[in-house]
Amino acid sequence: MGDTRDGSGGTALACERVSAGWGATQVVTDVSFELPGGETLAVLGRNGVGKTTLVSTIAGRADIKGGVIRLAGEPIQDLPRFTRAARGLGFVPQEREIFPSLSVEENLAVAARGRGRGVDEWTLTRVFDLFPRLLERRNIGGTKLSGGEQQMLCIGRALMGNPSILLMDEPMEGLAPVIVDLIVDAMKRIRAESGVAILLVEQHVDIALEFTSRLLVMDRGAVIFDAADGTRPIDQRFIESLVGVDALV
């Protein structure tokens, strides 16, 4: 079960007692974990427990109120978003945030301008091989894409930045089951064919366990179950009881 590759052998991403929020409101309290290079870590929990705030803080969008975020050992919590991206941090936001006035190919090309210090080289050809549907729609504007196509484009755009770490905020949310299967297959290929580490924010335990036995479960902004090191036995029913969300059907 899950991702067992050794990756680069070092720590790609670490949070050390991170507290964060939006403006004056604190949402996340005292979260710590390490993500080794080439591995996958799932952050699980219901809506509103702080998962998106955590990943947004790592990406430089939410406000850090305490603690340290390290990328390849170097602190990044005070760096602007574009610098984090240039150092190899890719982000797939829940809202997708594609450029609606640009074509598929233009969206991907824009992302390539700020290439990070990633562990692998991503090109248009490689992204189109990962998502053949994007190749078919390469000259179509963002407003004419389906929700599933937009999600493919969002993932492809993040990869075009050559990340060493891919932050994915509920990439399956709101998608039809057939599209979920396509996204899951693509994520498995990303994991298998590159050295990219993945931090996956997810509600559905069954999907998370397809990728990894490295888990954090959050509730009310804090970690209530910590198996981030991948050595702790995982009981799916127990994790589902903590998360309180049914399997994705």
- What is the tens place of the pLDDT at every residue in 174-187? 899 999 999 999 99
11-243 is a CATH 3.40.50.300 domain: yes
Q: Write down the pLDDT at residue 74.
A: 96
Q: 5-42, pLDDT tens digit by residue? A: 334 458 999 999 999 999 999 999 999 999 999 999 99
**pLDDT reading at 244 higher than 50:** yes
CB 114 within 8 A of CB 134: no
pLDDT band at 240 (very low <50, low <70, confident <90, very high): very high
Q: Write down the pLDDT at residue 120.
A: 66
CB 208 within 8 A of CB 215: yes
Q: Give Cβ neighbours of residue 177 (< 8 Å, ≥ 6 apart).
A: 248, 249
Q: Write down the pLDDT at residue 121.
A: 83
Mean pLDDT of the chain: 90
Give the separation between CA 195 and CA 175, rounded to whole angstroms: 27
Q: Residue 200 forms beta bridges with which residues?
A: 42, 168
Q: Kindly report the CA angle at 167 between 248 and 11, in degrees rounded to 5? A: 120
Q: 79-119, pLDDT tens digit by residue? A: 999 999 989 999 999 888 888 889 999 999 988 765 555 55
Q: Write down the pLDDT at residue 113.
A: 66
Q: Write down the pLDDT at residue 247.
A: 47
pLDDT band at 3 (very low <50, low <70, confident <90, very high): very low
Give the separation between CA 96 and CA 140, rounded to whole angstroms: 17
**pLDDT reading at 1 higher than 50:** no
Q: Write down the pLDDT at residue 5.
A: 37
Q: Residue 25 forms beta bridges with which residues?
A: 22
Q: Where are the alpha helices (DSSP H) in 3-146?
A: 51-59, 81-86, 104-112, 124-130, 132-136
Q: Write down the pLDDT at residue 6.
A: 38
Residues 201-220, mean pLDDT to the nearest whole number = 93
Structure tokens at 152: 């493919």
Q: Write down the pLDDT at residue 249.
A: 41
Q: Write down the pLDDT at residue 124.
A: 93
Q: Write down the pLDDT at residue 39.
A: 93
What letter would DSSP give residue 230?
S
pTM of this structure: 0.90
What is the percent of the chain with per-residue pLDDT over 90, rounded to a whole number?
75
What letter would DSSP give residue 187?
H
Taking the domains of the chain in order of start, what are their residue ranges? 11-243
Q: 190-208, pLDDT tens digit by residue? A: 988 888 999 999 988 999 9
